């Protein structure tokens, strides 16, 4: 990883600044627009996007930035990037609109297709997770220092499964049924990855489309805590490898051995 400790702290500060921009909108009346794909968009998404992109360009001018709100980039040019920032300025806009607090700021550094380091900030609580494979993962709450987090390995009964309130389908239910006695935990946005990383949840199956900016920061943090994000063939997720920015199916695990207990 090419970032210094000072640069990592600067990116963490950017995530917190973006969270402040989001909260300023969250605590006031706000309008809701819709993108071409009908997904919702608010002033908070755009304010966070502008804050993060400007900050990253100033901090690392040699590293391109791909944000959900600036995704209309030339595919051929993007595929030439060996490293770049992958940003979701407000992950969980639907949660934001519901005002349930379960939305986040996601910033990931991708190097040669690997999400090598990431930051996830929860604006409402102030909790922030950061880390990556080979570097460990940590939670930072308020002005307190970093506390290491670790996935629950080995996983023990009862297992705790994250199932999205908005995206429960038959295949997700099949995973739940294959692990009888498990507790199902509702959790929004990329907080699912954070909860697996800190041992609060054991696995998160996701069948259906997500975008690369939805998972990169969470994968980095989870891998730093000992877990993994795997595709249906058991391979770790990689980024910027295809013309599309949509992910396929995946399962996020704290204890990778749990994969052997899941339906094919």
Over residues 109-153, the pLDDT tens digits come to 999 999 999 999 999 999 999 999 999 999 999 888 999 999 999
* Residue 44 vs residue 193, higher pLDDT: 193
Q: How far apart are CA 212 and CA 42, in angstroms?
A: 20
Q: Is residue 33 domain-resident? A: yes
Number of other residues whose CB lies within 10 A of the CB of residue 192: 26
CA distances from 184 to 162, 163, 177, 190, 215 (A): 6, 6, 11, 17, 20
* Cα–Cα distance for residue pair 106/45, rounded to 1 Å: 12
pLDDT tens per residue across span 71-98 = 667 788 888 999 999 999 999 888 888 8
Kindly report the CATH number assigned to the domain that includes residue 19: 3.30.540.10
Please answer whether residues 254 and 201 qualify as being in contact, where contact means their C-beta atoms are separated by less than 8 angstroms. Answer: yes
Examine the pLDDT at 165 and tell me if it is beyond 60.
no
Domain of residue 218 covers 160-261
Q: Based on the structure, what is the number of domains in the chain?
A: 2
pLDDT at site 264: 76
- Residue 197 in any domain: the answer is yes
In whole angstroms, give the CA distance from residue 82 to residue 167: 33
In this structure, the answer to whether residues 94 and 197 fall within a common structural domain is no
pLDDT for the residue 37? 52
Q: Is the dihedral of CA 250, 211, 105, 109 positive or negative?
A: positive
Same-domain pairing of 145 and 173: no
Q: In this predicted model, what pLDDT tens digit does every residue of 230-260 receive, in sequence order?
A: 999 999 999 999 888 999 999 999 999 999 9
**Residue 49 and residue 88 in one domain:** yes
Residue 154 within any structural domain of the chain? no
pLDDT > 60? residue 166: no
Q: In terms of DSSP bridges, do strands 83-91 and 65-67 run parallel, antiparallel, or are they unpaired?
A: parallel
Residue 113 lies in a domain: yes
Asked whether residue 179 falls in the same domain as residue 227, the answer is: yes
Domain end point (choices 108, 127, 149): 149
The answer on 179 and 106 residing in a single domain is: no
């Amino acid at each position: 990883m090419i970032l210094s400790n000072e640069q990592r702290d600067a990116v963490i500060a950017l995530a917190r600044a973006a969270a402040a921009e989001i909260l300023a909108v969250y605590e006031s009346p706000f309008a809701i627009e819709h993108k071409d794909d009908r997904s919702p968009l608010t002033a908070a998404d755009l304010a966070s996007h502008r804050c993060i992109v400007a900050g990253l360009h100033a901090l690392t001018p040699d590293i391109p930035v791909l944000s959900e709100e600036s995704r209309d980039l030339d595919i051929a040019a993007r595929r030439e990037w060996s490293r770049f920032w992958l940003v979701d300025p407000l992950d969980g806009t639907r949660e934001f609109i519901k005002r349930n607090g379960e939305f986040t700021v996601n910033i990931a550094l991708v190097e040669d297709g690997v999400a090598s380091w990431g930051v996830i900030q929860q604006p409402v609580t102030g909790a922030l997770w950061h880390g990556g494979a080979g570097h460990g993962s940590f939670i930072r709450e308020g002005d307190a220092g970093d506390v290491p987090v670790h996935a629950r390995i080995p996983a023990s009964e009862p297992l705790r499964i994250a199932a999205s309130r908005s995206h429960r389908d038959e295949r997700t239910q099949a995973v739940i049924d294959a692990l009888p006695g498990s507790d199902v935990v509702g959790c929004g946005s990329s907080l699912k990855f954070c909860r697996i990383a800190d041992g609060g949840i054991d696995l998160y199956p996701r069948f259906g489309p997500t975008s690369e900016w939805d998972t990169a920061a969470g994968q980095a943090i989870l891998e730093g805590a000992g877990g993994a994000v795997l595709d249906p063939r058991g391979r770790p997720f990689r980024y910027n490898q295809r013309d599309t920015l949509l992910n396929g199916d995946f399962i996020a695990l704290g204890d990778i051995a749990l994969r052997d207990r899941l339906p094919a």
